[in-house]
Structure 1
Amino acid sequence: MKVSISSNPAQSRQVRQQLANPDESLTYELGKAVQELPPLYTRLLAGTISVMVFGTIAWAYFSRVDEVAVAQGELIPFAQVRPVRSLGGGTIQQVYAREGKSVKKGDVLLDVEPEKTKVIDADIARLEKSSKLIQDDLNRLEAERSGNGSAGTAIQDEFLNARLKAFDEQKAGAEAEANQQVAAIGEARTRLSRLEENLINAQENLKNARKNLENANEQERGLRTLLTDRAVPRLEYIRAKDNVTNAEDKVVSAQDKVVSTQKELAGQLDRIRQSEQGYQAAKSKADGLASQRQSEILTTLTKRKEEIASMKGQLDQSRKQRELSKITAPVDGTVYSVKATRGPVQQGEELLSILPKGEEVVLEVKVLNRDIGFIQAGQRVKVKMATFPFQEFGIVEGTVMKVSPNAIVEKDQNGQSQGPVFPTRIQLNKQAIDVNGKKVELTPGMSASGEIVTRKKSVLTFLIEPVTRRFSEAFQVR
């Protein structure tokens, strides 16, 4: 039902009485209120709405948010974990270690009843002997590095002297080779000087030969004129022609001499360059022998120190196992990958692993095939730990370290194939979470999700992108 809106109060009451429907009455009142607004208020209302609309659009256009690729994964050790193995056969009585548990050096991990005490004693004797040999070798290497003439034992002193003698011989050989090249350069330069003198003489001889040829030609032409007038004997003219021929031969010979001397000169210059290169190579070799030797000594020292550290750890563990029949932690760290169970155990069998204290953990995620094209090293990552809800404990910032170029096939928690995924390692900016004022270390095995920031997009793009995608697909599907 349509009614006209009047400003007369009597007519308004009459119209309201005619509008029995509440909705029609509300529409009437609203239209009347709008008509009764002053023109200035109407324009202000329209302007305010326009400013809000355009301001919202501008904010959505200029505001940037992160576009992320979400990948699931778990924390893994960044460095190699230290395995704990059984030094002898026996029976595991009790397993105290649990995955994720922090342990200190000397903490009891397992109770093992040795199968044969003699085996443990033999291992201890072997380890002690090996440790002594390595320590003697370390003393000899330190003496060799510092230039000390004694390594502590007769055998090592003999070995040290042999090494020093071999180095001196090698250095003397390199210096002799350099001196030989210097002598060769000197001889080559002396010969070069002679060749330069020979070239000057050959060029002078060529010049004289050409001048003699010119004189002989001039004499032959003069005698030819006189011979026509029968003013000279024919024999004298023949001698003049012979002189021309001889002069031409001498010119050719002089030219050949100049060319051959120039070739010898060029060859001698090449030999000098080769000798100079040989000298530089020999000199570099002689100069680098000392630094190369020090580098080799330091490398060997580092390797032997690692060996003796590992050997001492095994020796301490064997002694304690012999005395207490217990396997203890060789270093401070976190228990990782417990494989031991109660029952028989073989010699050399790996029982568990320990992540040394201070070693970092990284997040390894599986990036889906659809996202891998946007992932590269150095990108920022927001890591959300499954154990610690990010709404309460926040996120852990990280950076993409390495993206595997090879895909693997993984299954999700429901056993369904995710298709090809790419293992990607993320370095974490912190290794602990603050929980109620206490630092809780992140340990291997914790699951987490990584939101890799691939680029910045405007809010407006996020809003209109689904519409444009649907619009584009509408003209492509059948």
Structure 2
Amino acid sequence: MTDKKLPSADSNKFKVWEGSSVFVSQGRHWSSAFIWLSAGLLGVTVIFAFSSKIDQTVSVRGKLSPSGSVQDIESPSSGVVLDVFASDGDFVEAGDILLTVESKSLSSRLSEINEKIQLLSLEISGLKDIIESGGKPSLFKPLPPLPTGIDDAQLVSRMLTARNQVNQIRSELIKVDIRLQSKSSSLNYQTQITNDLKPLYDNGAMARNAYLDQINRLQENKAEFSTLVTERSRIVGSVSSRVNSLNQQLLSLRTQLTSVNEQIGYRNVKAPVSGRVFNLMASPYSVVSSSEKLLTIVPSNNLQALVEIPNSDIGFIKVGQAVSVSVDSFPSGEFGYIRGSLISIGSDALPPDQDSPQRYFPGTVKLVQQSVVSGDTSLNLQSGMSITANIKLRSRPTISILTDIFTRQLDGVKRFR
């Protein structure tokens, strides 16, 4: 008969669940390890929260723009576009001819000015000869012949009219000179008679009244001679005034002629700066008006980002802060960010507009690179592309995230009524 073994003292710590063959045992070292692990994690978290830093950034919207100003090219005058030598997107160098504008109005204006200059020069030439002669016909020089080979009958007629005016003045002076010669002879004759009668009058051989009548006739001749001399001087003076007036007109016409020639020279519209052509609105044989916008040239200077900083975020933003720029056309997940720095901030907030519903400060970001790269592919940036700029304000302890939450909650309680 086999004796049954009695259970040992160690077996008392296990109990059998009825209907189950599973034995469960829970050791005390698991709870202790869990407590220490939790405490360690909490300590590490607290240390990390106080020692580690996170970057505080502000995201603002903007667009790419050339560092130089965009040039709007306008038509120098009204006319017809003859040739266009550039297309949208073409790169042009400064001084390249973009298009040619033919102005009929300028051509007719140039012809009109030249005709007036010819007329005035012809008249001035004839009048100057009168002034230089002092109004004496004996010193008149022959008038130069009229220009030949002029097909414009109206211009020829106006030249003849100007020549006739000079001849008319000469005729007046000739008549005055004839009368002066006659009065001079008469004056000499009367003077001689008076001189001959004076001894007779002095010796009493001649009546007083007869002698005084002779003296009166002499004085009348002198007065008439003096009047004719004055008339000749008056005519010469009026001619001199006329020449001064014509010279002023001639000077004005020559100034206009220079201006018109310059405008005609500008009919070849040239690029003022190097860059790309955009918004080309002119085409061959199209009619344009003076100062009408024909195209736009975007300078080839490096691009920069123009950003709009909200009024609520301007407090910690300063010139020189680092900026990471994401171009909307090139997803940052594939092409990454473009590094840059804030180089300028507006001194005052600008009022809201269609793009920005609130007041904002304009800012400028200088970009480190002018293209984005994905693998072996490099894509150039273009003016006008919209961007998002992340401006790095400062580094803060990680714990500040939690303290900010509590601070906002506390401020909410203070404002609660």
Aligned 1:66-465 pairs, distance under 5 A: 66-91=55-80, 97-98=87-88, 101-105=89-93, 114-116=102-104, 321=268, 332-336=274-278, 338=279, 340=281, 344-357=287-300, 359-411=301-353, 418-465=357-404
* Structure 1 counterpart of 2:125: none
Query: Do 1:92 and 1:111's aligned partners in 2 also have CA atoms closer than 8 Å?
Result: yes
* Structure 2 counterpart of 1:36: 26
* Structure 2 counterpart of 1:64: 53
* Structure 1 counterpart of 2:18: 13
Deviations 1:161-201 (A, max 9, x none): xxxxxxxxxxxxxxxxxxxxxxxxxxxxxxxxxxxxxxxxx
In structure 1, distance between residues paired with 2:322 and 2:34: 45
SS in 2 for 1:45: helix
Counterpart residue identity of residue 344, structure 1: V
How many residue pairs get aligned? The number is 252
TM-score, reference length from structure 2: 0.51
- Greater per-residue helix proportion: 1
Query: Do 2:310 and 2:360's aligned partners in 1 also have CA atoms closer than 8 Å?
Result: yes
Gaps of at least 5 residues in structure 2 are 1-11, 111-261
Query: Do 2:66 and 2:299's aligned partners in 1 also have CA atoms closer than 8 Å?
Result: no
SS in 2 for 1:410: coil
In structure 2, distance between residues paired with 1:62 and 1:120: 83
Specify whether residues 41 and 329 from structure 1 end up closer, same or farther in structure 2 by C-alpha distance, changes over 3 A only.
same
In structure 1, distance between residues paired with 2:297 and 2:372: 21
Q: Report the aligned-residue RMSD.
A: 3.9
Moved over 6 A (4+): 93-96, 106-113
Deviation of residue 115 (structure 1)?
4.1
Deviation of residue 475 (structure 1)?
2.8
Gaps of at least 5 residues in structure 1 are 1-5, 18-28, 123-313, 322-326
SS in 2 for 1:54: helix
Counterpart residue identity of residue 346, structure 1: S
In structure 2, distance between residues paired with 1:435 and 1:104: 29
Deviations 1:85-142 (A, max 9, x none): 32343356989644xx3513399997666343965998xxxxxxxxxxxxxxxxxxxx
In structure 2, distance between residues paired with 1:367 and 1:455: 16
Deviations 1:44-95 (A, max 9, x none): 3322232122212322332212111221111122123344332343356989
In structure 2, distance between residues paired with 1:465 and 1:406: 29
Specify whether residues 420 and 331 from structure 1 end up closer, same or farther in structure 2 by C-alpha distance, changes over 3 A only.
closer
Deviation of residue 465 (structure 1)?
1.8
Specify whether residues 329 and 72 from structure 1 end up closer, same or farther in structure 2 by C-alpha distance, changes over 3 A only.
same
Specify whether residues 111 and 104 from structure 1 end up closer, same or farther in structure 2 by C-alpha distance, changes over 3 A only.
closer
* Structure 2 counterpart of 1:202: none
In structure 2, distance between residues paired with 1:102 and 1:460: 55
SS in 1 for 2:45: helix
Counterpart residue identity of residue 330, structure 2: F
SS in 2 for 1:419: coil
Deviations 1:414-441 (A, max 9, x none): xxx6221111111111122224534333
SS in 2 for 1:68: strand
Which residue of 33, 55, 66 maps to 2:44? 55
Specify whether residues 421 and 431 from structure 1 end up closer, same or farther in structure 2 by C-alpha distance, changes over 3 A only.
same
In structure 2, distance between residues paired with 1:353 and 1:437: 33
Specify whether residues 476 and 348 from structure 1 end up closer, same or farther in structure 2 by C-alpha distance, changes over 3 A only.
closer
SS in 2 for 1:55: helix
Specify whether residues 352 and 121 from structure 1 end up closer, same or farther in structure 2 by C-alpha distance, changes over 3 A only.
farther
Specify whether residues 434 and 90 from structure 1 end up closer, same or farther in structure 2 by C-alpha distance, changes over 3 A only.
farther
Specify whether residues 379 and 83 from structure 1 end up closer, same or farther in structure 2 by C-alpha distance, changes over 3 A only.
same
Query: Do 1:70 and 1:450's aligned partners in 2 also have CA atoms closer than 8 Å?
Result: yes
**Which has the higher Rg, Structure 1 or Structure 2?**
2
Specify whether residues 434 and 119 from structure 1 end up closer, same or farther in structure 2 by C-alpha distance, changes over 3 A only.
farther
Deviation of residue 344 (structure 1)?
3.3
Query: Do 1:88 and 1:347's aligned partners in 2 also have CA atoms closer than 8 Å?
Result: yes
